[in-house]
């Protein structure tokens, strides 16, 4: 049963109260790693070891060229020396918005640990070689799904199943197959978010949360950035 107190009327839903965070540890600029990418690596492994459900789930926010925002949950797939990687259809709404406005925000929320990580940065597409390598590692069913779905477009009731059947026949594989030769679609691949700001958040009582922000030093190399690290007010 939720701990929320909710009052409802014909024209209003009002929420009062919330779970009080009570984490025993604290974070400060002095006890986190100098690199936010290394610190993310530490926290991500902490989340895995704490059996957080779907620690790889993250909110991705994009915006049109005129600034209209949209958000959705996607799966984090890789952290490298440049940034955070996810994969999608290059004709989807998120990709169209990233083409128009190559800025993105990511948010990880690990509820079981009362931790958040927020990332802001510019984006770049992955190379075809990187896309090929990852696509080949995916289950056959999801490889076929990438071909079948015209992501973010309006679709009729039976169209998706018909398109899937078409590619099952074309490539001579089944969604349940463990191996198969399904090529990489030219409209599918990865995006990398190159961070210029990363914030680590730890829930504390009375909403006096711990917040530590990393800002990339302007002009520092993207593959070896320097960072200014500050504590923020909750």
Enumerate the active-site residues. Answer: 207
According to DSSP H, which parts of the chain are helical?
36-49, 93-100, 128-137, 140-148, 159-171
Query: What is d(CA 112, CA 21) in angstroms, rounded to the nearest whole number?
Result: 10
Query: What is d(CA 90, CA 151) in angstroms, rounded to the nearest whole number?
Result: 9
Task: Please write down the HEC assignment for all residues of 167-208.
Answer: HHHHHCCCCCCCCCCCCCCCCEEEEEEEEEEEEEEECCHHHC
The candidate with the shortest Cα–Cα distance to 56, out of 21, 86, 88, 92, is: 86
């Amino acid at each position: 049963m939720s701990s929320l107190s909710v009052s409802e009327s014909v024209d209003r839903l009002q929420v009062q109260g919330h779970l009080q965070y009570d984490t025993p540890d604290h974070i400060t600029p002095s006890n986190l790693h100098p690199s936010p990418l290394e610190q993310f690596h530490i926290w991500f492994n902490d989340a895995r070891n704490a059996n957080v459900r779907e620690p790889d789930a993250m909110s991705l926010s994009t915006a049109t060229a005129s600034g209209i925002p949209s958000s959705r949950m996607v799966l984090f797939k890789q952290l490298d020396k440049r940034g955070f990687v996810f994969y999608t259809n290059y004709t989807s709404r998120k990709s169209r918005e990233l083409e128009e406005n190559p800025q993105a925000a990511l948010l990880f929320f690990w509820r079981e640990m009362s931790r958040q990580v927020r990332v802001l940065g510019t984006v770049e597409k992955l190379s075809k070689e990187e896309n090929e390598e990852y696509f080949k590692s995916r289950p056959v069913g999801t490889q076929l799904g990438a071909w079948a779905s015209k992501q973010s477009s309006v679709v009729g009731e039976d169209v998706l199943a018909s398109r899937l059947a078409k590619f099952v026949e074309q490539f001579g594989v089944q969604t349940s197959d463990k191996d198969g030769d399904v090529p990489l679609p030219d409209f599918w691949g990865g995006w990398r978010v190159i961070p210029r700001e990363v914030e680590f958040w730890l829930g504390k009582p009375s909403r006096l949360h711990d917040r530590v922000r990393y800002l990339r030093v302007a002009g520092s190399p993207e593959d070896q950035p320097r960072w200014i690290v500050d504590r923020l007010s909750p």
